[in-house]
Amino acid sequence: MLTAVIALAALALLAAFGLAIAARVFAVPHNPKADEIEEVLPGANCGACALPGCAELARRIAEGKADIDACPVGGESAAHTIAAIMGMEFEGGAEREVALVLCKGSDQVAAKRFFYNGIYDCNSAVLVFGGDKACTYGCLGLGTCAGVCLFGAIDMVPGGLAVVDPEKCTGCAQCVAACPKGIIKMVPASRKLHILCSSHDKGGVARKHCKVACIGCMKCVKAAPEGAITMDNFLAVVDYSFEIPAEVAAECPMNTIIVTGDAAGACEEPAAAAGGDA
Amino acid sequence: MGSGRFFGGVHPSYNKGLADSSAIVEMPLPERLVVFFAQNLGVPSQPVVKKGDEVKKGQVIAEAGGFVSTPVHAPTSGTIGSIDIYPSPVGVDAPAAVLVPDGKDEWFEGCNVERSSEGLGVKKIKEMIHDKGIVGMGGATFPTHVKLSPLAEKKMDLLVINGAECEPYLTADHRLMVEHAEGIRDGASLFATVIGVRNVVVAIEKNKPDAIEVMCKAVVGCQGFSVEAMDVIYPQGAEKQLIYTLTKRKVPAGGLPMDVGVLVQNVGTALAAYEAVRYNRPLIQRVVTVTGSGIREPKNVLARVGTRFEDLVKFCGGLEGDAAKCINGGPMMGVAQYSLDAAVTKGTSGLVILRQEEVTQFVSDACIRCARCLEVCPMKLNPSALSIFIEKMRFEDANEYNVMDCIECGCCAYVCPSRRPMVHHFRRAKAEVRKLQRKTG
Amino acid sequence: MPKLVIIIISAVLVNNFVLMRFLGICPFLGVSKRVSTAAGMSGAVLFVMTMASVVTWLIYHYVLVPFGLTYLQTVSFILVIASLVQLVELVLQKLSPALYKALGIFLPLITTNCAVLGVSVLNIQKEFTLLEATIFGAGAAVGFGVAMVLFSGLRERIDLCDTPIPFRGTAIGLVTAGLLSLAFMGFTGLVKL
């Protein structure tokens, strides 16, 4: 019994001694804070921070080379926890942003100019005359953005239109980069009024192409506070630094403006509108 | 000179008989012309006219936008109606000027004047070719003056005049050789002077015996000129394949013909360059083969740049029966058009109109790894693996498998039993790889 | 000498640890997505297995047997293996952080890789000499590496295929592993040990 204990203890001691030496020889400088921060980060490695992976961001934050709110996905809650780890104060940074598809033209309302029978992918479709929709600005509806979304926040509604669920959206902006038409924009989550069109076509052309296009009538511009909605080459554009009253939406003769209500409003509304027009 | 045979290739049905015996006819001026500002590969040209301007035939309406760029000229005299975005026949929407002809067809001052091409310096010739907007007329529309400026360290020893015209249906180059052999020969000797080579080969596929005969007669007594009859196989007329057939030299991956000392120019380009230098005529018209079973009278039309496809079709007797598909270029490499609103550009070699029964909408399937595409790929790529990589969005792997060397000839898609849209995949991958390369610098 | 050759062939092919004895399945499925990581894992296992064979043989014959403590075999072997794995981890983290990251949790898990313990125990059971034990340990690790690289190569190809959805990932991996194992049965009878 005693020999057994002594023998094992001796073996263990020997091994421990060897490892201790090895740990000295092969020591890697290591920041324990980085590990803690990595625990807090979402771990999706989505690249929204423009760094290769969460571990890298954690290392940068621990070294003070990145801001504590650098992770847009983790948002404020992550920033608070990281601030605690780093022993810093977090004063609340930029507001949470969500992606928004600036198009409402599903197949029911938007005209097509030809029959596309190619690869089922927006980036491929855009190589053929810029896509099959008559409106060259609109959503192609082949779901490339939904494919790159790691959080399942983008739905393809029937009729080919991408719709972002602002509740699920983490603001990583992967879809913004994936969209060949560049019609997905990041908007502050608290803003409810959106103009869902990207067409710079003149009113008559836009109307011919799509039943819910912005025709540049400027009614919303007049109804909204000064400067809150501006015209950019026949397209009304919302300046999200303004609070715009919901009544402005009713001014739109084309039903292009939506007001997202509570919770899942943004997800439901365009789909319902598209269906209603069909 | 060894006569090799390049790897791969296919034998589609050529259907050249529809138009190969009809002489080139000049088309009367249409009611309006749509002239695209980007008429060449490389940097788009910069418009210098505005709405309402009066222009003369041959007047510059868009300046070269850089070295790899050429000016664009007014195809006739008239008024610029408007400048707007139009669907260009190569599959993008591009800015174009609508030119309303005044019917007088008056030349711009100094144009269309005969002058001697004797004793002109190399630099002067190149300048004229650039100023007159000459681009590769085989379809790629690469600026000719750039091709004529090989790097000094490359030893050039051969000029190939490409009259292969391997694309099915098209007969524009064929008729050009039959009717304008002397002009092509003189254009070729201009090119030879510029790049300083003695040997010139006019390469023609064997299915054009009349063209071979006429060209042979035309080059009699010309030092260094020869006419080579080549086997009929698609894509014989592709630059790298043509060079291999004639010289057994292989252009390195990612390289250019000048890397093996060869310059290839299309017959149409040679003629256009000759006319530019000899008569000071800019490139404002070209031969377009309007053919296919869906057109009433297939013809080789000498059409102004900017002629709308609709006017071309009307000139050729209109559509026949249940015409269903219109292709700019040949059926192998051409681009299907969704409307006849597009217009002739410097690279439009043909307009093929097919009937409903000839057009099938395929549903593509999974790759069954039969490797037929490997057997026909003239670039010895692995289209099967490439298309699978691209489907899985693995563009870096596709780049490693040399997708950038794809010449988009369409042989793989032609033989694919699963009807996979191979060329579409490769175009996508090329765009993505270029994006990646730009990102990494 | 002929016996050593037989031991190697036996360990690598005929009695391949992964495919015939079904030991070390955990890293075999876990880190076989890419050939490069699979090869790295095989390297680490090669080191651990060879060293473990030597050290455990020595401990068994010079510590456990003289003191009549052979019943401590499993405990002491695990102690040795765990220490060796720790050593490899330290070294890898210093020399190849990329591989360290790619192997992730599977690196410390070599400790519980039954193939390593299996080699040590088999060395004793088969009454190998020290040289034979070393060769057997190294051969078994090479066999592990062969299986890993073959399998990861197959999985890279499978990634490009349209696998039916229920089969994607580990499911088709296990099917493939089974087929690979069947293929290795072809080596049976090549040598007898």
CB-based contact (8 Å) between C80 and chain A?
Answer: yes
Q: What is the pTM of this model?
A: 0.82
Provide the domain count of chain C.
Answer: 1
- Residue B355: enclosing H or E segment and its boundaries? strand B350-355
Q: Please check whether the domain covering B122-279 is classified as CATH 3.20.20.70.
A: no
Tell me the per-residue pLDDT of C89-106, one tens digit each, with 9 for 90 and over: 888 888 888 888 777 777
- The dihedrals phi and psi of B7, each to the nearest 5 degrees, come to -75, 140
pLDDT at A274 over 60: no
pLDDT of residue A91: 66
pLDDT at A275 over 60: no
**Domain contains C4:** no
The first and second tokens of residue A73, run together, are 């996905």
pLDDT of residue B116: 79
Residues in chain A with CB shorter than 8 Å from the CB of C55 are none
Pick from B42, B79, B81, B49: nearest CA to B63? B49
pLDDT at A262 over 50: no
Residue of C nearest to B369 (CA): C161
Rounded CA-CA distance A207/A204 in Å is 5
| B145: amino acid identity, one letter | H
Does the distance separating the beta carbons of C162 and B389 come in below 8 Å? no
CB-based contact (8 Å) between B261 and chain A?
Answer: no
Rounded CA-CA distance B1/A210 in Å is 61
Residues in chain C with CB shorter than 8 Å from the CB of B366 are 162
CB-based contact (8 Å) between C74 and chain A?
Answer: no
Residues in chain C with CB shorter than 8 Å from the CB of A15 are 79-80, 82-83
- Note down the domain range covering C88: 11-181
pLDDT at A265 over 50: no
Tell me the per-residue pLDDT of A138-189, one tens digit each, with 9 for 90 and over: 999 999 999 999 889 999 998 889 999 988 898 888 899 899 999 999 998 8
Residue A65: is it exposed, middle or buried by C-beta count within 10 angstroms (0-12/13-18/19+)? exposed
Å between A266 CA and nearest CA of chain C: 31
In chain B, which residues fall in CATH 3.10.20.600? 30-100+282-358
ipTM for the assembly: 0.82
The first and second tokens of residue A271, run together, are 């789909």
Tell me the per-residue pLDDT of C34-71, one tens digit each, with 9 for 90 and over: 888 898 889 888 988 998 999 999 999 998 999 888 89
**Domain contains C83:** yes
Residue of A nearest to C95 (CA): A26
Does the distance separating the beta carbons of C80 and A4 come in below 8 Å? no
Q: Is B317 left (phi over 0), alpha (psi -120 to 50) or beta?
A: left
Which range is least confidently modeled, A62-66, A103-107, A239-243, B397-401? A62-66
Residue of C nearest to B392 (CA): C160
Rounded CA-CA distance C69/C65 in Å is 6
- Return the residue matching tokens 């400026």: B149
CB-based contact (8 Å) between A177 and chain B?
Answer: no
* Domains (range + CATH), chain A: 2-86 (1.10.15.40), 97-277 (no CATH)
* Summary mean pLDDT of chain A: 84
pLDDT of residue B192: 93
Task: For residue A179, give every residue at least 6 positions away whose Cβ sits within 8 Å of its Cβ, in sequence order, or none.
Answer: A122, A144, A145
DSSP for chain A, written as a single string = -HHHHHHHHHHHHHHHHHHHHHHHHT-----HHHHHHHHHS------TTSSSSHHHHHHHHHTTSS-TT--TTTHHHHHHHHHHHHT------SPPEEEEE-----TTTB-BSS---S-SSHHHHTTTTT-SBSSTTS---S-HHHHH-TT--EEEETTTEEEE-TTT-----HHHHH-TT--EEEEETT--EEE-----S-HHHHHHHBTT------HHHHHSSTTTEEESSS-EEE-TTS---TTHHHH-TTS-EEE--STTHHHHHHHHHHHHH-
The first and second tokens of residue B45, run together, are 């040209």
What CATH number belongs to B30-100+282-358?
Answer: 3.10.20.600
pLDDT of residue B421: 93
pLDDT of residue A278: 33
| A15: amino acid identity, one letter | A
Task: For residue A244, give every residue at least 6 positions away whose Cβ sits within 8 Å of its Cβ, in sequence order, or none.
Answer: A191, A193, A224, A225, A228, A229, A238
Question: Rg of the Cα trace of chain C?
Answer: 17
Identify whether A29 is preceded by a cis peptide bond (ω within 30 of 0).
no
Pick from A209, A188, A98, A75: nearest CA to A149? A98
pLDDT of residue A160: 87
Identify the segments of chain B with pLDDT beneath 70. Answer: 1-4, 441
Identify the segments of chain C with pLDDT beneath 50. Answer: none
pLDDT at A277 over 70: no
pLDDT class of A267 with cuts at 50, 70, 90: very low
pLDDT of residue A271: 42
Rounded CA-CA distance B39/B29 in Å is 20
The first and second tokens of residue B185, run together, are 């020969």
**Domain contains C176:** yes
In chain B, which residues fall in CATH 3.40.50.11540? 122-279
